[in-house]
Structure formats: C-alpha cells, structure tokens
C-alpha cells in the first residue's frame, strides 16, 4: 500500500465516444479529489493480443499486469456486450494473475444500451473474486447509454453521483485486505 493510495481505472470499450471511458474517468477524478493518485489505462493505446496461455508475455500484457499489481485500488468499467463483459476488458484481465490482483480493492461499473447491465456486473465481480480481489458491494449500473452521456460527460446527475461515490469508495477502502492486521481492527474483531 502506497502512502497515497494509487488507483488505476481500466475501461473495456475501445469506442472513441465510449460512455464507459467517461464514467471510469469520472470515478478516477472523484478518487483524485479524495486524495489518490490515479491513472486511466486506455486500452486503445495498449497492444493486447487475444490472450494465449502459450504466449503470456505477448505485447503489453506483462506491463499491464505490472500496473495492476502496483495499484492499491482499481476501477473496472465494462460495456455490456451480449449480456456479459466486453472482450477488451476480459482480455486485459486474462493477462493478470492472482499475484497481481489479490487483496486489491476493486470498484466495478457497467454500461448498457438497454436495461440494467446486471449480468455484466455479476460476471465482472465473479472474475475479480477469482483473482482474489475485493469487489466493493456498491456497484454502478448505467442503463440506456444513448441517453446517459452527452458531450463527453454523464448527463444524469444521479448516475454521476453514484459514479463519483464509487471513485471515493475505492480510495476509502484501498488496502482493505490488510486491515485485520491493524491492531485496532484486530481488537474490534476479537472484542479485546
């Protein structure tokens, strides 16, 4: 854990006008306001071939895994594609291992053209758990993406607030996995 929490955001859409990227950036901006250093990993700029277990060092995969490993908290955003996680984000996660994600606080958000992207959130949360990350229980679902974003910003104030809260929460809970080692926390848990 860095003295100043370091939060990275990864957005699963490669689309130029991606709402997911706008939302992830908004969460990171809120995290920065809450005192974190932040980095938005824009997958358009990363060379990540379809993941091949026989070529785990392909392209920028090792560098991406290193950035994930360095992060104290992560914001993951995905568009819902065919009821699940979009492939660019899934590919990025496939380059990461438990060693990179274990113990890291993760906030998740998903964006859909239709109704609530609940399946995509469930699947993303399941991946985070398999990687032994700590997904925050308060996730952000953004439905009706055609109306949710306007001029590079989040149009709906309620959604914007929820996204900002996600950014603040990942900072507040960064390092949560280490907390049982804190004396104060141990006392709370044991009642001493």
Exposed / middle / buried, residue 176 (Cβ in 10 Å: 0-12, 13-18, 19+): middle
Taking the complex as a whole, the smallest distance from the CB of residue 135 to ligand FMN amounts, in Å, to 20
Q: Give yes or no for residue 91 binding ligand FMN (CB under 6 A).
A: no
Which of 92, 37, 103 is CA-nearest to residue 63?
92
Place of tokens 């990350």: 133
Q: Give yes or no for residue 136 binding ligand FMN (CB under 6 A).
A: no
Q: Give yes or no for residue 113 binding ligand FMN (CB under 6 A).
A: yes
Q: Give yes or no for residue 105 binding ligand FMN (CB under 6 A).
A: no
Tokens linked to 137: 């229980």
Question: By C-beta, is 25 or 104 nearer to ligand FMN?
Answer: 25
Cα distance between residue 110 and residue 173, in whole Å: 20
Question: By C-beta, is 12 or 175 nearer to ligand FMN?
Answer: 12
Q: Give yes or no for residue 152 binding ligand FMN (CB under 6 A).
A: no
Cα distance between residue 66 and residue 97, in whole Å: 10
Question: By C-beta, is 17 or 57 nearer to ligand FMN?
Answer: 17
Question: By C-beta, is 35 or 152 nearer to ligand FMN?
Answer: 152
Question: By C-beta, is 103 or 113 nearer to ligand FMN?
Answer: 113
Q: Which listed residue (35, 49, 62, 114) binds ligand FMN by CB under 6 A?
A: 114
Q: Give yes or no for residue 79 binding ligand FMN (CB under 6 A).
A: yes
Tokens linked to 11: 């957005």
Cα distance between residue 174 and residue 107, in whole Å: 10
Which of 129, 39, 119 is CA-nearest to residue 93?
129
Q: How are beta strands 149-150 and 140-142 bridged, if at all?
A: unpaired
Q: Give yes or no for residue 13 binding ligand FMN (CB under 6 A).
A: yes
Q: Give yes or no for residue 15 binding ligand FMN (CB under 6 A).
A: yes
* Residues in contact with ligand FMN by the rule CB under 6 A: 13, 15, 18-20, 79-83, 111-114, 145
């Amino acid at each position: 854990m860095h003295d100043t929490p370091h939060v990275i955001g990864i957005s699963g859409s490669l689309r130029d006008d991606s709402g997911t990227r706008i939302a992830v950036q908004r969460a990171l901006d809120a995290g920065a306001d809450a005192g974190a250093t932040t980095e938005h990993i824009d997958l358009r700029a990363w060379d990540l071939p379809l993941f091949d277990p026989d070529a785990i060092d392909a392209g920028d995969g090792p560098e991406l895994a290193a950035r994930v490993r360095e992060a104290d908290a992560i914001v993951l955003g995905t568009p819902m594609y065919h009821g699940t996680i979009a492939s660019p984000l899934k590919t990025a996660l496939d380059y990461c291992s438990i060693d990179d994600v274990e113990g890291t606080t993760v906030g998740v958000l998903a964006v859909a053209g239709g109704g609530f992207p609940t399946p995509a959130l469930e699947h993303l949360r399941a991946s985070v758990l398999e990687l032994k990350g700590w997904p925050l229980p308060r996730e952000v679902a953004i439905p009706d993406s055609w109306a949710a974003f306007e001029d590079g910003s989040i149009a709906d104030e309620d959604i914007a607030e929820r996204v900002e809260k996600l950014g603040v929460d990942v900072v507040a809970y960064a390092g949560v996995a280490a907390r049982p080692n804190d004396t104060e926390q141990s006392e709370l848990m044991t009642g001493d």
